[in-house]
Amino acid sequence: MTPIILVCAMAFLLLGALGAVLGRRPSGHVVVYGGSLAVAGVALLASLTQLCFGIAPVPRVLLPIGLPGLGMHFTMDDLASLFLIITNLGAAAASLFALGYGRHEHEPWRILPFYPVFLAAMNLVVIAADAYGFLLCWELMSVASWGLVMAHHTDAAIRRAGTIYLLMASAGTLALLLCFGLLAGAHGHYAFAAMRNAHRSSWIGALVIILALIGAGSKAGLVPMHVWLPHAHPAAPSHVSALMSGVMTKVAIYAFIRIVFDLVGPAAWWWGLVVLLVGGMTAVLGVLYALMEDDIKTILAYSTIENVGLIFVGLGLALAFKADGMMIAAALALTAALFHALNHMLFKSTLFFGAGAIQHATGTRDLAQLGGLIHRMKISTVPMLIAAMAIAALPPLNGFASEWLLLQAILLSPALPQFGLKLAVPAIGALVALSTAFASACFVRFYGIAYLGRARSPEAATAHETDRFSRGAMIGLAGLCLAAGVLPGLVIDVLAPVTHALLGARLPAQAGLAWLAVVPVASSQSSYDPLLIAVFIAISGGLTALTLYRFGSRVTRRAPAWACGYQERDPAALRGTGQYSPSGFAQPIRRVFATLMFRAHDDVVLPPPGDIGPARLTHHWTDPVWAALYTPLVSTIGLIAERMNRLQFLSIRKYLGFVFVALVVLLMWTALWT
């Protein structure tokens, strides 16, 4: 299947060229997005065929381009097929959404050339089988997405987002470059197959893990490398935001899995501990940020950070289990992480599509300006509700299924021998539970304030439903959320070859169990059967409604809600008053959880006695990562740059002197090194 994916990538690149040519024509977006949809569909079918039916005629392709004598290797194993499925499913949905949404774009020529290139690069990263090709495609992916982020570059905030993104992407690639350099060893074996067989000392492996955590983690959004993500993801057009949050973070997770589980060799137990700690902190901090944010797309970007944290918790557990030879438990944790990666693509893409629809319908992304959209956007509100419930990890949807697997994996961890892990894993479990509870609150706030209640602004009151392509994309993905939630056993079976390839162990086949229940590990007897629960919900809900309508009153009357006597007939006068604001909703949680970490505080400004003006309540919070890490970093770099600036104004003698000293130092180094 590798040649098919390569051809698809070429087709994407061709579409990019077409986009550059047709960008200013009205037909441009139909050609580019329609073409991308078709190509992504073909790539999706190819990768599904390989993973589900094991059909893979050509295992490896060597293209004679790239570094002389090296060429570029491409291959597609089970891990790559899984991430190709995630990538191309997300790409197909985003292209379908953009068929409708892209029509409203004011300057399509700034997006159309980059969009297919971005898709091509993500596909190529996943099938690359040598470090050179991988890094080249990785950079192409970063640059193409940077171009998309900068589509509306006239806005100063977006230019700032672009700059931060470019800096963080470069730093991340540098870390990956060093990481692959260490993996290639002294003789420079750049092909993954050669790296896999190389023997390296344990400290090199440890260094590789740290560099992979920085390099892939900065792209995925691990705290503290997450700072670019809440700026860059919302800045892009919504279908690109969906791709960046739903798919590009998954490509970064693919890179981490490829390096840590496949290339670097046997794991030490403390690698798992490091990954677990970073993942747990990321999960809780990400969702706390999301809870305090008022911009709908920024909320979604922060929530991506949380979900990446949960995925890394799963990966860390898998690493720890793998290091101690508990392969079934490792397979369970890895399955949970991969399942969650797939789920996150499904619901986060849906949510970003919905946010895009809201932005287009109301012209604002401020939660405090929305409300009552359920009456105006009657159809797209349903997939949004499903996606919000799925991301809040509520049964019987897919988010809970992967979370349940993760918790089952945590329950197997008392058998781990190391004391550090014994103490850390329950604490990480508490962090996971905390982040899930926060996610539930966060998405009640998101959905409840944006869609329910009364409109808080005239724009929200006159919002309109989105077009049929966008609705189709949202409904399709939400339907998959439901399907994967009710039939998680099938997904686990699809993931089994991946864990088998990476760990040599797989979960028992789930498809044959009665009622399609999920029993991941036979010894713990724990089972979960969402299909049965869904059937119960349907039957008992139907019975309840029937009973009530048979024996009770069937009448439903409408009446104004009682609001303590404060009742005004004029809806415009009531706008924005009476209802809870988004920051008001988050205030108790902010006060209880964010006072210490984020230095959140509320300021009450009372008018002086005799003044009949309103009192004002404002709230502030600071990002501890910016304050503790990036602000000092930026000022240090500035300071060094200022000092180094003197070097530009030296005499020719001094420059010659520098060159001479440098030469001597280098010569001595070479002499001593050998």
Q: Does 419 bind other proteins (CB under 8 A)?
A: yes
Torsion from C-alpha of 141, 143, 145, 146, nearest 10 degrees: 160
Closer Cβ to other proteins, 4 or 450, answer by number: 450
Interface with other proteins (CB under 8 A), residue from 422, 468, 599, 616: 422
Q: Does 429 bind other proteins (CB under 8 A)?
A: yes
Closer Cβ to other proteins, 277 or 374, answer by number: 374
Closer Cβ to other proteins, 515 or 669, answer by number: 515
Interface with other proteins (CB under 8 A), residue from 38, 62, 437, 597: 437
Q: Does 70 bind other proteins (CB under 8 A)?
A: no
CB atoms closer than 10 angstroms to residue 108: 24
Q: Does 430 bind other proteins (CB under 8 A)?
A: yes
Minimum CB distance to other proteins, residue 520 (Å): 11
Interaction residues for other proteins, span 208-237 (CB under 8 A): none
Minimum CB distance to other proteins, residue 586 (Å): 8
Q: CA separation (Å) from 445 to 203, 388, 441, 632?
A: 46, 10, 6, 34
Run of H or E including 75: strand 72-75
Name the residue among 171, 33, 37, 217 with its Cα closest to residue 111: 33
Residue type, position 341, single letter: A
Size of residue set near other proteins by CB under 8 A: 85
Interface with other proteins (CB under 8 A), residue from 54, 504, 588, 632: 588
Interaction residues for other proteins, span 590-609 (CB under 8 A): 591-593
Q: CA separation (Å) from 383 to 109, 466, 481, 568?
A: 30, 13, 9, 34
Minimum CB distance to other proteins, residue 605 (Å): 21
Interface with other proteins (CB under 8 A), residue from 580, 655, 660, 669: 580
Q: Does 584 bind other proteins (CB under 8 A)?
A: yes
The token pair at 1 is 């299947």
Buried b (16+ CB within 10 A) or exposed e, 302-340: bbbbbbbbbbbbbbbbbbbbbbbebbbbbbbbbbbbbbb
Closer Cβ to other proteins, 237 or 279, answer by number: 279
Minimum CB distance to other proteins, residue 554 (Å): 9
Q: Does 372 bind other proteins (CB under 8 A)?
A: yes
Query: CB under 8 A: which stretch of 214-222, 301-309, 490-498, 588-596 binds other proteins?
Result: 588-596
- The C-alpha atoms of residue 302 and residue 359 are separated, in whole angstroms, by 18
* Contact residues for 341 (Cβ-Cβ < 8 A; gap 6+): 86, 250, 253, 311
Q: Does 508 bind other proteins (CB under 8 A)?
A: no
Q: Does 152 bind other proteins (CB under 8 A)?
A: no
Q: How many CA atoms lie within 13 A of 312 on its CB side?
A: 35
Closer Cβ to other proteins, 2 or 436, answer by number: 436
Minimum CB distance to other proteins, residue 508 (Å): 15
* Positive/negative CA dihedral, 193, 194, 195, 199: positive
Minimum CB distance to other proteins, residue 466 (Å): 18
The token pair at 242 is 């969906």
The mark string for 526-555 relative to other proteins (x by CB under 8 A, - otherwise) is: xxxx--xx--xx--xx--xx--x--xxx-x
Cβ(428)–Cβ(315) under 8 Å?
Answer: no
Q: Does 517 bind other proteins (CB under 8 A)?
A: yes
Minimum CB distance to other proteins, residue 674 (Å): 51
* Contact residues for 108 (Cβ-Cβ < 8 A; gap 6+): 23, 24, 28, 29, 102
Minimum CB distance to other proteins, residue 488 (Å): 12
Interaction residues for other proteins, span 26-45 (CB under 8 A): none
Closer Cβ to other proteins, 172 or 520, answer by number: 520
- The C-alpha atoms of residue 4 and residue 112 are separated, in whole angstroms, by 23
Query: CB under 8 A: which stretch of 14-22, 150-158, 192-200, 516-524 binds other proteins?
Result: 516-524
Q: Does 585 bind other proteins (CB under 8 A)?
A: yes
Q: Does 143 bind other proteins (CB under 8 A)?
A: no
Minimum CB distance to other proteins, residue 35 (Å): 39
* Contact residues for 243 (Cβ-Cβ < 8 A; gap 6+): 90, 91, 94, 118, 119, 145, 349
Interaction residues for other proteins, span 440-479 (CB under 8 A): 440-441, 444-445, 447-449, 452-454
Q: For residue 128, what are the β-bridge partners?
A: 74
Query: CB under 8 A: which stretch of 188-196, 479-487, 575-583, 598-606 binds other proteins?
Result: 575-583
Q: Does 368 bind other proteins (CB under 8 A)?
A: no
Residue-by-residue DSSP string for 149-215: HGGGTTSHHHHHHHHHHHHHHHHHHHHHHHHHHHHHTTTT--BHHHHHH----HHHHHHHHHHHHHH
Q: Tokens 């009665």 appear where? A: 514
Interaction residues for other proteins, span 373-412 (CB under 8 A): 374-375, 385, 389, 392-395, 400, 404, 407-408, 410-411
Closer Cβ to other proteins, 549 or 660, answer by number: 549
